[in-house]
Chain A
Amino acid sequence: EVQLVESGGGVVRPGGSLRVSCAASGFTFEDHGMSWVRQAPGKGLEWVCGINRDGSSTNYADFVKGRFTVYRDNAKSSLYLQMNSLTAEDTALYHCARVLRGTEATWDVWGQGTTVTVSS
């Protein structure tokens, strides 16, 4: 079964850091670009960042402003998001998502998400 499972979410103080992870299974991880998409409570979907198949190219939403870093370990079939200088506006459910082959960033497999809460 094709699956993405996020972990590492939690409560962090403003200005703090957190790393969330995404474990992939059921498909050849290195064949797909990957992305992180978040959803604040009661709000819509918001793209955070993306990474290509071998990790050599990344891109980020403007609101990241150099605070977040996405990377991957293809040997472990895992995707990561290191988040620094967190603010309350970063409170959200963070989903990892697989890029559909043949597209730039259309996501055909999604994880259930991991919740990040930034609060003092």
Chain B
Amino acid sequence: EIVLTQSPGTLSLSPGERAILSCRASQSVSSHLAWYQQKAGQAPRLLISGASNRATGIPDRFTGSGYGTDFTLTITRLEPEDFAVYYCQQDDRLHRTFGQGTKVEIK
């Protein structure tokens, strides 16, 4: 099973600041990496597929990058609605796995 490790666990930032979230895979997943946003009481929302492809309707302040084992989600300027939990997920292998999540909270 591929283990995805996200860091940091919690990111405390102010609106307008830049957020950088990391996801590291225990084995290469090529570009088969997605990012999701989840707000309290809501279903997850797809942000990024294929490591760097923004999903439909996702603002361009969200950028995904990386390949192989190291991936990054960057939010260039945090808006109030961006404070949430973010998960990475791989679909490279049949047993799909998620990272444990990074919480982006208001400082």
How many A-B residue pairs have C-beta atoms within 8 angstroms? Tell me.
Answer: 63
| Residues B43 and A113 in contact, CB atoms below 8 Å apart | yes
- The smallest beta-carbon distance between A96 and chain B, in angstroms, is 10
A-facing residues in B49-104 (Cβ within 8 Å): 49-50, 55-56, 87, 89, 91-92, 94-101
Q: State how many residues of chain B have any CB contact under 8 Å with chain A.
A: 26
Consensus secondary structure, chain B interface: loop
- The smallest beta-carbon distance between A61 and chain B, in angstroms, is 6
Return the chain B residue nearest A4 by Cβ.
Answer: B43
| Residues B89 and A108 in contact, CB atoms below 8 Å apart | no
Instruction: List B contacts of A47 (CB < 8 A).
Output: 89, 95-98
Stretch at the interface among A12-20, A70-78, A80-88, A99-107: A99-107
A-facing residues in B1-55 (Cβ within 8 Å): 1, 32, 34, 36, 38, 42-46, 49-50, 55
Q: State whether A44 and B100 are in contact (beta carbons under 8 Å apart), knowing that A103-B50, A104-B32 are contacts in the complex.
A: yes
Question: Interface residues, chain B, CB within 8 Å of chain A?
Answer: 1, 32, 34, 36, 38, 42-46, 49-50, 55-56, 87, 89, 91-92, 94-101
If A45-B38, A106-B89, A108-B55 are given as contacts, then 9 extra A-B residue pairs at C-beta distance below 8 Å, sorted by A number, are A44-B87, A44-B98, A45-B89, A61-B95, A100-B49, A106-B34, A110-B44, A111-B43, A112-B42
Question: Interface residues, chain A, CB within 8 Å of chain B?
Answer: 35, 37, 44-47, 50, 59, 61-62, 95, 100, 103-108, 110-113
